[in-house]
Amino acid sequence: MHTYTSLATKETQTVTQMQLPHIQIKDLNVHIEGKHILKNINLAIPNNSITSIIGPSGCGKTTLLKTLNRLMDDSKNVKINGSVLVNGEDIYAKDAEVTHIRKKMGLLSQRPFPLPMSIFENITYGPRIHGQRDKTVLKEIVETQLKNVGLWEEVKDRLHHSATTLSIGQQQRLCLARGLAVQPEIILGDESTSALDPISTQTIENLLIDLKSEYTIVLVTHILRQARRVSDYIIFVYNGEIIEFGKTEDILLNPQNEITKQYVKGFIS
Ligand SMILES: Nc1ncnc2c1ncn2[C@@H]1O[C@H](COP(=O)(O)OP(=O)(O)O)[C@@H](O)[C@H]1O
Ligand SMILES: [Mg+2]
């Protein structure tokens, strides 16, 4: 167990020399209903890159992702110890404001959840909550963000139609645009292409690759091929522990740990 930790720490240092850590997780432990779900997590996630969290079902990937924007706080019987620093600021500090923290992060879930309103209103919802009332500005935000996710040409003539009239793939791009509209710094995705067809999956993957120059992106996926296609770095989680963290090619082609080797060969699923 200790070799995993020291390995992760060694990799972390190598990575941070190249790129600034945007998110730093220090001695994070999560207990749910008395069970130790995340164990001694220490990580530095670099900016302007895509980091994928991989590992078998039930190993703690979603829990790790949700601790990054304090979504685990919403669950009952959850105990969180340790710290998560975003730009050096501890989001678990006593005086940390959850709304302020979540504004920095856009979350893309497994299935698209458009709000039950029009395409236009889905995108302006966040900016309006944060006080933007200027109609010209709101229109600009809608156009910019729809262009950002490659939806503008498809929907510009029906902005006031219900978002639910869009295909699932389009809805997921709309949800991404809705997240981007509040100008987050970090995009979190939890298996966010699992409900999509291959073409929509590819569209979302390409969008995320385009967006990484401006955002820090952390994705949960159990699809190794997807992790290989999109990520710069990979975190391999097993049974609530980080077994290895490093550059995508190192983890997939030259894993150091026996469990990682088994996982990338497909012997553990
Ligand atoms: N709200 C919860 N209540 C009880 N157990 C939970 C809850 N959330 C997660 N768990 C447990 O924590 C473990 C990790 O879950 P999760 O992070 O969802 O795994 P993954 O995303 O890797 O499949 C699982 O054993 C799961 O049953
Ligand atoms: Mg999950």
Contacts of 78 (CB under 8 A, 6+ apart): 30, 31, 32, 72
Write the CB contacts of 175 (distance below 8 Å, at least 6 apart in sequence).
108, 109, 112, 113, 114, 122
Q: Can you tell me whether residue 178 is helix, strand or coil? A: helix
Ligand 1 atom closest to the Cα of residue 237 is 22
Low-confidence ranges of the chain (pLDDT < 70): 1-20
Ligand 1 atom at shortest distance from the alpha carbon of 33: 4
Round to whole Å and give the CA distance between 109 and 178.
13
Gap from CA of 195 to ligand 1 centroid (Å): 20
> Residue 104 phi/psi, 5° resolution?
-75, -10
* pLDDT confidence of residue 14: 46
Nearest protein Cα to ligand 1, atom 17: 60
What pLDDT is stored for residue 102 in this prediction? 87
**Ligand 1 probe mutation, 39, 63, 65, most atoms within 8 A of CB:** 63
Mutational test site, ligand 1, from 30, 54, 62, max ligand atoms within 8 Å of CB: 62
d(CA 27, CA 156): 47
- What is the Cα–Cα distance from 214 to 184, expressed in whole angstroms? 10
Could you tell me the two tokens for 213? 């120059």
> Can you read off the two tokens belonging to residue 69?
């924007």
Domains in the chain and their CATH numbers? Answer: 2-104+184-264 (3.40.50.300), 111-183 (no CATH)
What is the reported pLDDT for 73? 83
For residue 76, give the ligand 1 atom closest to its CA. Answer: 1
Residue 20, pLDDT score? 66
Confidence at residue 21, expressed as pLDDT on a 0 to 100 scale: 84
pLDDT for 99 equals 86
